[in-house]
Structure 1
């Protein structure tokens, strides 16, 4: 299950469409004296557990009042991009739409979203990475987040005399390198799975937090106008030199399979993976499973944050009803249901406390802790789609042996050229 990583390319298309102009469309209307119809689009077709929760929320909301009627339309995740793009081109976006967290600023800049304007007592309770802000305004909010960790077997670490890290005392980079080298010497041909067989948004989601832990970043977040000095500075070069060496030494590879199967099968000792793979690991490894914090590269452990969130389209003529639905939907009981049916981290502490998996005694409670302490959102800039693809290309080239400094310099040139071509995106 990969909630956070799927539709980044839609942002680029929508940004281009914005340049050609977009008139406001009226498409949420009442029928006679009946309730106002509010159209809601999700990317959740084919996910019965998630849809069941949405259907329950919609049924409860529709039954709670008579002024509005929410009607959902569900798209397979793979075709959601096309549906959104086509609707934007036709000026016929639905009132309510979900989106992957990091693309929200591009959609807001393109004029496809209006500020969410939910009561602050709702958004203040959410995980920071479950709230999407752009230029000082909240445009999106989500019911959950995902988190990354290092999976290990306690028996393997104990046998090899490797210290079990904690949230308070994670592995330093030197400790981690020594542990991986020892595990390779003990018989693991490839001791570490970094998920490098995956593609797309996984790369900045998974690896840019390591870069941030090293002191670098995807862009200078103080201005959002340039990546120079952040993505190609000394801290970034140091991190990517290490990253390249991991593959050169054979500690990790990109042969796949995508997911956590190599760890489950005992082919690797350590797996850098997400909460969506935790249940399968628990079933196979049981009480021997360790869910460990990520490595401290110098600036403390960091992990990616910001998953699917909800927004209201700028063309929605029933925004009060859409807002009323969203306000209704953020009840803890629904957030807990999402968490336990989808194995995602509830966006409020109270919903997490009620979860059978993420509550204080739950088998996945550690993920809630990691999310609260270490999760970082990707940069809130309309230029993120180019940042994402430039980072992926550079990191893959470096993994394959390319010169670190010149490769990062080229990525910075691509990112900065896009920002300049778009007038700094109004920053």
Structure 2
């Protein structure tokens, strides 16, 4: 594979860093190697780290014959470090992964399927987006304890002043309505910039946040059957038209560059594309004027992003039952809520959603959960080719922002993606799957 595998120098650095980081987690030495379960997780925000460490402590206390040993690895280098450890055969028993990369690790033979390790009632309680993102080649490889929410935040007062209809999940804005809303809002705005697309985020945000707009127009990043080609899809008429709309919003000065990350909180713009992580800050700034809205229907229905960090058992682990026991513990309603309360994300189970003040019916973020429950979430392509797909889409957005010709940009991206897939013979399934 030409993309996603570390070069020798990077591999050596990764292995050295893993050795160093192995001593950075909060670990105890109360048991023998036979009882010890090694876990790696990304070192996200402090509140997430604290909750996970507390969960490990609670589990260890209630399971005296097991000893969970947690190692936290910096998020920015996490995927590279895991790939390096995989090449060296040094993966832990239980591994946290970013959802879109599950297919690549499963195809490479680094994961063990989970579908026969969990109680059927537990799997049935999971949001469909959780099982969808964690599945590949007909098997379930990973499960998360939370999912992500994506939508439009709106400033109620400014929308009402401009005479703009407040959309709902049942009646989202159409393409024409959205274009009209931008025009009406810009008339009352000093600089005409009325939309924050979080272009200051860049990176994976482009694929997560903007590809649902592409899919809502009938386009996509790659064909979704066998994931063998982007030709005719990423460079198809629907994708070209939608990306031209995106470029027009930018060139016509409708989009605030959000350099200070305060376009919405300072009320410079009345509309902001954003996720569940924005809610607390936005609510503190706008109070009762804060609205959570679905993305517009650009022709093929309103869509939303999905997928977040999830857990997988590695293929080389000899402690499958212990790892599954710990995952089942993390998926209890109390533990799901403890993490969701810390990071504001959508609880992974329907039971936890019903108990969440934010996400249960009538809660301020109910829209996020309802979108996923109704199948509006579109997983980022579940293929080992995903790393190059997202890298190419990020380049597409950057080039569109700079005014490049859209059709030429898309042709180059399709060529790169299809060449990668061809170089890997379409990623045929290889090897036996451990039960």
Quote the Cα distance in structure 2 between the aligned partners of 1:106 and 1:16: 20
What is the match of residue 23 of structure 2?
Answer: none
> 1:170–1:301: 8 Å Cα contact kept in structure 2?
yes
Q: CA deviation at 1:395?
A: 2.2
Aligned to 2:130: 130
Q: Deviations over 1:103-141 (max 9, x none)?
A: 111111112211123323222221222220110011100
Query: 1:298 — aligned with what?
Result: 299
CA contact (8 A) 1:40 1:72 kept: yes
Secondary structure of 2:316's counterpart equals coil
- What's 2:237 paired with? 234
TM, length-normalised to structure 1: 0.89
Alignment of 1:113-128 (within 5 A): 113-117=111-115, 118-119=117-118, 120-128=120-128
Give the conservation status (yes or no) of the 8 Å contact 1:241–1:404: yes
Question: Kindly tell me: are residues 57 and 15 of structure 1, through their superposed partners in 2, closer, same or farther at Cα, counting changes over 3 Å?
Answer: farther
Contact kept? 1:146, 1:371, Cα under 8 Å = no
- For 1:419, the equivalent position in structure 2 comes to 421
Contact (CA 8 Å) 1:332, 1:348: kept in 2 or not? yes
Query: TM-score, length-normalised on structure 2?
Result: 0.87
Matches of 1:14 and 1:326, distance apart in 2: 29
Separation in 2, partners of 1:57, 1:422: 40
Secondary structure (helix, strand or coil) at the match of 1:325 reads helix
- Equivalence for 1:148: 150
Write the deviation string for residues 236-260 of structure 1: whole angstroms up to 9, x where unpaired.
11111111111111111435234xx
Q: Tell me which moved more, 92-101 or 366-375.
A: 366-375
**Partner of residue 410 from structure 1, selected from 393, 409, 412:** 412
Q: Which runs of 5+ in 2 are unaligned?
A: 10-28, 430-435
| 1:67 Cα offset (Å) | 3.7
The answer as to 2:310 corresponding to 1:309 is yes
129-138 or 84-93, which moves further after superposition? 84-93
Q: Cα gap change, 1:188/1:205 in structure 2, threshold over 3 Å: closer, same or farther? A: farther
Q: Is this contact kept in 2: 1:130–1:347, CA < 8 A? A: yes
Q: CA 1:407–1:310 in 2, change beyond 3 Å: closer, same or farther?
A: same
Structure 1 unaligned residues grouped into runs of 5+: 1-10, 18-29
Question: What's the CA shift for 1:35?
Answer: 5.6
1:197 aligns with 2:196: no
For the aligned residue pairs, the C-alpha RMSD in angstroms reads 2.2
Distance 1:425 1:123 in 2: 28
Q: For 1:235, what is the secondary structure of its paired residue?
A: helix
In the alignment, which of 100, 103, 107 is matched to residue 102 of structure 1? 100
Q: Report how far residue 266 of structure 1 moved.
A: 1.1
Number of paired residues? 403
Q: Match for 2:5 among 13, 23, 30?
A: 13
Aligned to 1:266: 267
Whole-Å Cα distance in 2 between the matches of residues 341 and 161 of structure 1? 37
Q: 1:25 maps to which residue?
A: none
Bigger CA drift: 80-89 or 70-79? 80-89
SS at 1:423 equivalent: coil
Task: Tell me what 1:340 maps to.
Answer: 341
Q: Give deviations 1:310-350, integer Å, cap 9, x for gaps.
A: 00111112122111211222101111111111100101121
Please say which of residues 344-353 and 52-61 is displaced more in the overlay: 52-61
| Cα distance in structure 2, aligned partners of 1:195 and 1:362 | 25
Checking the alignment, whether the CA contact within 8 Å between 2:329 and 2:335 is kept in structure 1 is no
Q: 1:168 to 1:33 in 2, by over 3 A?
A: closer
In structure 1, how many angstroms separate the alpha carbons of the residues matched to 2:231 and 2:369?
34
Q: What residue is the counterpart of 2:63 in the other structure?
A: 65
Q: 1:383 to 1:33 in 2, by over 3 A?
A: closer
- Secondary structure of the 1:140 match is coil
1:279 offset after TM fit, Å?
Answer: 0.4
Q: Measure the CA separation in 2 of the matches of 1:113 and 1:34.
A: 21
Displacement of 1:16 in angstroms is 9.9
2: distance between equivalents of 1:364 and 1:317? 41
Give the whole-Å Cα distance in 2 for the aligned partners of 1:111 and 1:386.
19
Moved more, 171-180 or 319-328: 319-328
Change (3 A) 1:14 1:107: farther
